[in-house]
Amino acid sequence: MKQMWNDKRYHSFDYYLKNQFGRKLYKLSLDGNMTCPNRDGTLDTRGCIFCSAGGSGDFAADVTLSITKQIEEAKEKIAHKVIPQIGVSQYIAYFQAFTNTYAPVDYLRQIFMEAIHHPDIAVVSIATRPDCLGPDVLALLAELNQIKPIWIELGLQTIHETSAKRIRRGYPLSTYDTAVKNLRALHIEVIVHLIIGLPYETKEDILKSVDYVSASGIQGVKLQLLHVLKDTDLVHYLDTMHVLTLEEYISILLSCIEHLDPAIVIHRITGDGPKDLLLAPLWSGNKKLVLNTIQHSMKLQDSWQGKNCMHATVTKEVVTCNQKL
């Protein structure tokens, strides 16, 4: 059955926020001063092949400031976008750079508690790796989740072990499965990052990753177009890998959305790489063009989220979506 989410053909993040919180929430990118086992020598020193020196946190706040000061500074930066609402918390504290559960749990407690108790924060979203969620970290997350919602973002990127090795992800798919199971047992929302356009992956490979993730019990995805950034090892693949054209990307993306369970929220539908570092694909720098082409193509092809999903769960939330049509 065809579904719509207000004016969108997919379960958009904005739709989810309005439905869940009754308002738009604004993301504040914070820096918890972490590193990553893929960078500090525990697993590797080189990082994933696509990861820039900022550890995927190129938009984060100044790490030398306290979390409270970072929140204030990040609020200032986006003040022109925010429509203020008196008496409600309007922000998501987003710990984005590197692996944000990769530190002693006492330190994690200190920074996450500081963020969660800030009156303007409604949600704390933590980007991490599935292999950095030990029992002590899970216990802390469960405690935090009793105070305000905690979202955990897992950088899976692909389900294929050959690709995972090529990009130097550093953990097997079974580690992802365990992490999702543990987090869901604590009622923590899980958002999974997938990359479209990894070296040598076919459209079928990408759709298999989407199908797998879609059936794995998660609540959100970020569908990230692969960006080749300066000074990353991905640059060495440019001679042999295929860089997607806008048309190819749109075709794959629409199929991904059609394969995705309609209950899953799409937190990101494309990518937002730092323009000064972007080498390829250069068309992705024009975000407005990309988003408009997605909307237009979905309409033209009568495409919608879940159209080709084999395991879609008809949740209360989706029924609500239909009722709002």
Contact residues toward ligand SF4 (CB under 6 A) are 36, 38-39, 47-48, 51, 55-56, 98-99, 129, 155
Least separation in angstroms between residue 304's CB and ligand SF4 is 31
Task: Note the helical H segments in the chain.
Answer: 13-21, 67-77, 105-116, 135-147, 161-166, 173-185, 203-214, 246-259, 287-300, 316-323
- Give whichever of 95 and 304 is closer to ligand SF4, judged by the CB atom: 95
Least separation in angstroms between residue 96's CB and ligand SF4 is 10
Least separation in angstroms between residue 48's CB and ligand SF4 is 3
- Select from 109, 105, 87 the least CA-distant residue to 22: 87
- Give me the phi and psi of 143, to 5 degrees please: -65, -45
Rg of the chain, C-alpha, whole Å: 19
Contact 28, 71 (CB under 8 A): yes
Least separation in angstroms between residue 169's CB and ligand SF4 is 7
Least separation in angstroms between residue 149's CB and ligand SF4 is 23
Least separation in angstroms between residue 44's CB and ligand SF4 is 8
Contact 261, 9 (CB under 8 A): no
The helix/strand/coil state of 15 is helix
Q: Which two tokens stand for residue 27?
A: 């993301």
- Give whichever of 161 and 247 is closer to ligand SF4, judged by the CB atom: 161
Q: For residues 212 and 191, what is the distance between their CA atoms, to the nearest angstrom?
A: 14
The helix/strand/coil state of 198 is coil
- Give whichever of 56 and 305 is closer to ligand SF4, judged by the CB atom: 56
